[in-house]
Structure 1
Amino acid sequence: MHVKAKQMAFGGLILAVTVVCMALGSVIETNTLFLLAAAAFFVGIVIREFGLRTGAAFYLAAILLGFLVTPNKFYVITFAAMGFYILGIEAVWMFLMKRPQMGHRMGIYWLVKYVIFNLVYLPCLFGFRSMLFQKAVSDQLLLAAVMVGQIAILVYDKAYQYVQGTLWEKWRKRIL
């Protein structure tokens, strides 16, 4: 596999910014989710610029480096979940764009988005109940957490679309 020098340099810089965002999430507690989401958005930038394979390698490198550098490992796991969502939706998008004859592509795309999110979110919510909540929680509160997650993914997805479509398009002309 031959990698261009510019691609390697850009990937290294973005990887450094990603890990800094993860580490800052541990330091600046009030902006943790914002910084982890920003770090995960870089996975999508690398995928769109260099392809799915390079993006997957970048994602794995960010997780490994995050475990080595970041003081709070729980934030790296959160980044991994957010990045996995982006990796998954970008892969599905690329798959669907190669098949223009397929009907209801946007409906399929949104359905798969929710499936990928829930494959990550629900096992974490139910499996790590004691880590997420200080006391034992009722089933109603757990159901509320599931519903809040379904709404939060809409906000996260809209923010990702804005970053990719607006912010990155402006900055990529200056950077690349």
Structure 2
Amino acid sequence: MHVKAKTVALGGLFLALTIVFMALGSVIETSTLFLLAAASFFVGIVVREFGLAAGAAFYLAAVLLGFFVAPNKFYVLTFAAMGFYILGIEAVWRWLLRRDEIQKRYLIFWIGKYVVFNIVYIPIVILFRDMLFAQAVSDTLLVIVILGGQIGLFIYDRAYDYVQEHIWGKMRGRFL
């Protein structure tokens, strides 16, 4: 497999920034989710610029390196969930692009986003209930947390779209 030098250099730069954002999430506790979300956005940038295989390799490298470098391993797991979501939705979008016969792609894409998110989110909330909450929570509160996660996904997804379209869209000409 022949890898272009620009791909490796830019991937290494993005990997370094991803790890820095993960580590900063442990230092600046008030901005942890923001920094982890920003770190996970690099997965999407790599997928869009270099393909799904390169994005998956970048994602795995970021998770493994994060476990070695980041002080708080729980934040690495949070990044892993966020990065998996981005990798998943980019894969869904690429799959939809190859299917000309499918009508209402955008609606199916949104459904796919929520399916990918809930494949990760719901098991984490249910299985790690004791780790996530300081005291025992009722099933009603658990349902509220799951519904709140759906709203959080919408905000996270809008931020990801904004970064891809406006921020990376303006910067990509300088890097590529």
* TM-score normalised to structure 2 length: 0.98
1:135 aligns with 2:103: no
Question: Residue type of the partner of 2:70?
Answer: T
Instruction: Give 1:101 deviation, angstroms.
Output: 2.2
Instruction: Give 1:105 deviation, angstroms.
Output: 1.4
Residues matched between the structures, number: 176
Aligned-partner Cα distance in 2 for 1:101–1:139: 42
Shift >6 Å, 4+ stretches = none
Question: Residue type of the partner of 2:78?
Answer: T
Aligned-partner Cα distance in 2 for 1:20–1:122: 28
Aligned to 2:69: 69
Aligned to 1:102: 102
Aligned-partner Cα distance in 2 for 1:175–1:30: 31
Aligned to 1:171: 171
Task: Report the aligned-residue RMSD.
Answer: 0.7
Deviations 1:6-63 (A, max 9, x none): 1100000100000000010011100000000000000000000000000000000000
Aligned to 2:120: 120
Aligned-partner Cα distance in 2 for 1:136–1:95: 41
1:92 aligns with 2:92: yes
Aligned to 1:150: 150
Aligned-partner Cα distance in 1 for 2:82–2:175: 25
Q: Percent same amino acid at aligned positions?
A: 66
Aligned to 1:41: 41
* TM-score normalised to structure 1 length: 0.98
Deviations 1:99-127 (A, max 9, x none): 22211211211111111100100000000
Aligned-partner Cα distance in 1 for 2:86–2:60: 13
Unaligned regions of 5+ residues in structure 1, if any? none
